[in-house]
Chain A
Amino acid sequence: MSGNTCVIVGASHGGVNCAFELRKQGFDGDIVLIDKDPQLPYHRPPLSKAFLLGGDPTALQPLKAQSAYAQSDIDLKLGVEVESLDVSAKQVVTSEGAIDYDSVVLATGATPFIPPISGLSEAKNSFVLRDANDATDILAAVQNTENTINHVVVVGAGYIGLEAAASLSKLGAKVTVVEREQRILQRVASEPLSTFMTHKHKANGIEIVCQKTVSAVKTSEANQLVVLDDGTELKADMIIVGVGVRVNTELAQASGIETLPQGIVVDAHMKTSISNIYAVGDCTVFPHPTLGDKCHIESVQNAVGQARIVAQTITGKVSTYDEQPWFWSDQFDAKLQSVGLPKDADNILVREEGDNALSVWHFDGEALVCVEAINAPKAYVLGGRWIAKKVLIDKEKLTDVNVAIKDCVL
């Protein structure tokens, strides 16, 4: 199929998987994969965990080997900026010239949000944590022997903030996490899970301050202080800002593609409002058969799952994105895994297995919709399977740890 070119904008989990999946699905046109990040595409989740702890700034974990791109005939253009999409001329305009396209996949991701806090933009050692650059900068600051990092303030107790807090604490810093909501992980996890993780962090020497916001950062030659809304001053040799992201919709918007504040609107086949233009991953708002019409999920699994679907759509197959979302995080000795989303649940059950493991089971009536597990992979695995198969569960047995999870089916 000569003259059939697919241009993929963004080469992280979504874009890279899309490129390789296109080949797997038999796409024999040209594939051009573009990213402004000059690094060979890498795994992002380890950046806040193993990468920081490993201490080696060159130890990024590639998604695929460099040679794999050539082997699969994928034209990887790194360090190249996409400036615009010319929908009528069917061209992607880049910093290195225009590329004619037959289809475009937008995998533009998201950008960390920096809250307008007085003094933050002038602060020393203030970082977000999203890409390799951020992680390398944090590592360099930690390793700078002329300016020891004793105190760290993490703003925002979402997954990124908490993972960074755990890693920096393991590296020897005294870490305080400031969260404006009532509890940590409020936006993404249930209360029992938040409570467990709060204890876990506290037991490891991290201070958690909820229902407080940061009103200013005061930096002087002598020290740097994060000032909270109640006047508390926290020493901060380093500040990590993890208060969420803004989706990168500018390119889509400028091309007249329908967008919402939370992302680029796609259908269940990853098609945007303009034909032959698709979108995947963190940048999308998509319909899901059980989760609703306007879902937005920021995760590796969502990006990879949608990449598989878009590759099928582009190669002329009809598949619908209906995967249950799953997610993981590692903080200290807590291995957290979740499947499904808790938002539709009207009742939850907690199964405690020993003092370092639990699973939270979310039901909409009798229907299982989500399982959050800490050091309980069996709950996660079986829960995921049961959600997909709509298996009914004996709730009484489930909360009895003497009954094996697999025996809790009705």
Chain B
Amino acid sequence: MTQIIFITADEQEHVLEADSGSLMELAVANNIAGIDGDCGGVCSCATCHVHIAPEDKARVGEASEIEADMLELAENVTENSRLCCQIAISDKLEGIRVTVAEG
């Protein structure tokens, strides 16, 4: 099981575990506030916007071109922004910290 830490707008840390699926599915399954995933995880709605902790960015990897374009739809975009439906859970993500973007 891979541990993922979600930080919500109220600054609460939620330590979750999974070994497959996307970060978005994990967040929705655990009712993480601010992650809606309205489109079901096909990178079409930008309602699963998170900021990856800078030290974890290299492990998570870059957004695809489509995802980067979709991020333009989101508010509070930074260089650490990702749509978490596009991040697949695997061992290499052990312990990463992601903050739910506001807005």
Chain B hits for A46, CB < 8 A: 40-42
Contact call A328/B39, Cβ cutoff below 8 A? yes
Chain B hits for A335, CB < 8 A: 42-44, 66
Interface size on A, residues (CB 8 A): 28
Contact call B42/A64, Cβ cutoff below 8 A? no
The listed residue with most A CB atoms (<10 A of its CB), out of B28, B41, B44, B45, is B44
Cα separation A255 to B19 with both chains bound (whole Å) = 49
> B31 at the A/B interface (Cβ < 8 Å)?
yes
A51: nearest residue on chain B (CB-CB)?
B40
Contact call A45/B73, Cβ cutoff below 8 A? no
> A318 at the A/B interface (Cβ < 8 Å)?
no
Chain B hits for A328, CB < 8 A: 39, 42, 44-45
A65 in contact with B31 given A335-B66, A378-B69, A381-B69 (CB within 8 Å): yes
Chain B hits for A61, CB < 8 A: 25, 40-41
> A377 at the A/B interface (Cβ < 8 Å)?
yes
The listed residue with most B CB atoms (<10 A of its CB), out of A328, A382, A385, is A328
Cα separation A290 to B33 with both chains bound (whole Å) = 32
Contact call B31/A68, Cβ cutoff below 8 A? yes
Contact call A64/B31, Cβ cutoff below 8 A? yes
Cα separation A65 to B66 with both chains bound (whole Å) = 28
Contact call A65/B29, Cβ cutoff below 8 A? yes
> A301 at the A/B interface (Cβ < 8 Å)?
yes
> A144 at the A/B interface (Cβ < 8 Å)?
no
A43: nearest residue on chain B (CB-CB)?
B40
> A62 at the A/B interface (Cβ < 8 Å)?
yes
Minimum distance in angstroms from A153 CB to a CB of chain B: 27
Cα separation A62 to B27 with both chains bound (whole Å) = 12
Task: Pick the contact of A71: B31, B38, B66 (CB < 8 A).
Answer: B31
Contact call B28/A64, Cβ cutoff below 8 A? yes
Shortest 5 CB-CB contacts between residues of A and residues of B: A377-B69, A43-B40, A68-B31, A328-B44, A65-B29
Jot down 24 A-B pairs with beta carbons below 8 A, ordered by A. Answer: A45-B42, A46-B40, A46-B42, A50-B40, A50-B42, A61-B25, A61-B41, A62-B29, A64-B31, A67-B30, A68-B31, A71-B31, A72-B31, A300-B39, A301-B45, A328-B45, A330-B42, A335-B43, A335-B66, A377-B66, A377-B69, A378-B72, A382-B72, A385-B73
B residues at A contact (CB < 8 Å): 25, 28-31, 38-45, 66, 69-70, 72-73
